[in-house]
């Protein structure tokens, strides 16, 4: 063996790989590690982040514990945002269970690529002496690794630090909606579609949390919706959210789109996706809604806000008594007001002093309810 190879081996930069006809790049792979008392692993993904992040980025880390000395090596790649060292260094070990975001334990020092979208951890630059209390937290699986970016200051990818060997959770199974179902999302944006699934089990006894994913394709290469469900076995998606997904994909009134839904079960490091169900969604009762939308044209400016007020613009070709509702993504009514819509243009100002999230402004006229206008608070 050459001196260069031995140096790479000592730096944890050598791995074994098994190539197959089906996966010529390598079906199974393992990093060569030095002898240690205990080994830990973390798989970094957007589905493990809190809040969950829609990203193609991936990362992995190996951690060796010898006494109180912790050594970290690994890498990350394909970040959608750029690595952000302004967030207290950009890469950290935090304390917290799956789904929780809490305090910083140690700042890591990655070697980052020129485009700031990938990097790796050199063992010699990422070794720390832990206190006895910190060793206990590590062994109790209360630490996670997080990569912060300009896209997601809270962390674009994250992974719980768990003992090796860490097995994958079993796949869950959706029980509602059923594959082949047809859902008309006309009506009030507060109406809810129930999503239910069966529990996953974890061979290691780790805590499992669930994430709902919706995509336009069965391979989930184009994920358009994500929702954390925590440890729950159900969640809801409002018709307002579904209608917004259809609009974003170019679907007009009476148009339909087949979307795929699946449940990801994760121990906050390793994740397993369920089989997808295919549901066809249709936008509203159409003809009446389309005429109504032409009579009363709605828009919101700005529709993305950091908490400043937004203006609901109404351009009307007829008069009508109306009610305006401000609703959050769970369907909770936050504000309502009555108004007389006059011919021409008029505005209504709404203060948006609410937590970050998705909100809807819904206008109900004497002739019917108009499609809700989405407002996002960052």
Domains, the chain: 33-163 (2.60.40), 173-282 (2.60.40.10), 287-377 (2.60.40.2550)
Which of 214, 100, 224, 230 shows the shortest CA–CA distance to 155? 100
285 confidence band (pLDDT: 50, 70, 90): low
Label residue 286 by pLDDT band (50, 70, 90).
Answer: very low
Supply the pLDDT for residue 32: 65
**pLDDT reading at 337 higher than 60:** yes
β-bridge partners, 29: 17
Neighbours of 76 (CB within 10 A): 27
Please tell me the distance from the alpha carbon of residue 363 to that of residue 369, in angstroms, as a whole number: 6
| Spatial CB neighbours of 324, under 8 Å, sequence gap ≥ 6 | 312, 336, 337, 338, 339, 348, 361, 362, 363, 364
* Cα angle 25, 29, 31; round to 5: 130
Q: What is the pLDDT of residues 149-172, one digit of tens each?
A: 999 999 999 999 999 999 999 999
H or E segment and range at residue 9:
helix 3-10
The rounded distance, in Å, linking the Cα atoms of 375 and 325 is 13
**pLDDT at position 311:** 94
Per-residue confidence (pLDDT) for residue 166, from 0 to 100: 94
Q: How many Cα neighbours within 13 Å face the side chain of 141?
A: 19
Q: CA 105 to CA 145: how far, in whole Å?
A: 10
Over 80: is that where the pLDDT of 289 sits?
A: no
pLDDT band at 280 (very low <50, low <70, confident <90, very high): very high
Q: Work out the percent of the chain whose per-residue pLDDT is above 70.
A: 94
Whole-angstrom distance, CA of residue 53 vs CA of residue 227: 9
Give the chain's radius of gyration (CA, Å). 25
Distances (CA, A) of 211 to 132, 153, 196: 34, 20, 12
- The mean per-residue pLDDT over the stretch 58-69 comes to 96
């Amino acid at each position: 063996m050459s001196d260069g190879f031995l140096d790479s081996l000592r730096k944890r930069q050598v791995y074994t790989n098994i190539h197959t006809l089906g996966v010529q790049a390598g079906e199974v792979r393992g990093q060569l590690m030095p002898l240690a008392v205990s080994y830990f692993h973390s798989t970094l993904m957007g589905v493990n982040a809190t809040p969950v992040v829609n990203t193609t980025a991936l990362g992995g880390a190996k951690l060796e514990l010898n006494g109180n000395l912790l050594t970290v090596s690994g890498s990350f790649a394909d970040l959608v945002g750029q690595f952000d060292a302004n967030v207290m260094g950009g890469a950290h070990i935090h304390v917290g269970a799956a789904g929780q975001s809490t305090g910083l334990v140690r700042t890591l020092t990655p070697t980052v690529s020129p485009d700031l979208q990938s990097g790796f951890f050199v063992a010699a630059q990422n070794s720390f002496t832990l206190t006895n209390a910190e060793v206990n937290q590590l062994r109790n699986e209360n630490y996670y690794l997080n990569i912060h970016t300009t896209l997601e200051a809270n962390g674009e990818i994250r992974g719980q630090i768990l003992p090796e060997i860490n097995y994958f959770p079993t796949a869950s199974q959706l029980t509602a909606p059923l594959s082949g179902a047809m859902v008309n999302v006309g009506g009030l944006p507060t109406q809810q579609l129930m999503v239910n699934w069966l529990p996953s089990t974890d061979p290691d006894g780790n805590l499992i949390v669930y994430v709902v994913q919706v995509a336009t394709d069965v391979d989930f290469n184009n994920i358009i919706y994500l929702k954390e469900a925590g440890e729950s076995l159900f969640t809801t998606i409002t018709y307002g959210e579904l209608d917004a997904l259809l609009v974003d994909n170019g679907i007009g009134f009476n148009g339909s789109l087949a979307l795929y839904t699946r449940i990801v079960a994760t121990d906050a490091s390793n994740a397993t996706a369920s089989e997808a169900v295919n549901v066809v969604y249709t936008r509203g009762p159409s003809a009446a809604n389309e005429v109504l939308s032409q009579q009363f044209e709605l828009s919101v400016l700005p529709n993305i806000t950091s908490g400043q007020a937004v203006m609901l613009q109404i351009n009307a070709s007829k008069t009508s008594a109306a009610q305006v509702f401000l609703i959050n993504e769970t369907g909770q009514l936050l504000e309502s007001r009555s108004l007389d819509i006059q011919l021409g243009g008029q505005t209504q100002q709404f203060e948006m002093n609410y937590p970050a999230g998705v909100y809807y402004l819904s206008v109900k006229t004497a002739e019917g309810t108009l499609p809700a206008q989405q407002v996002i608070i960052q």
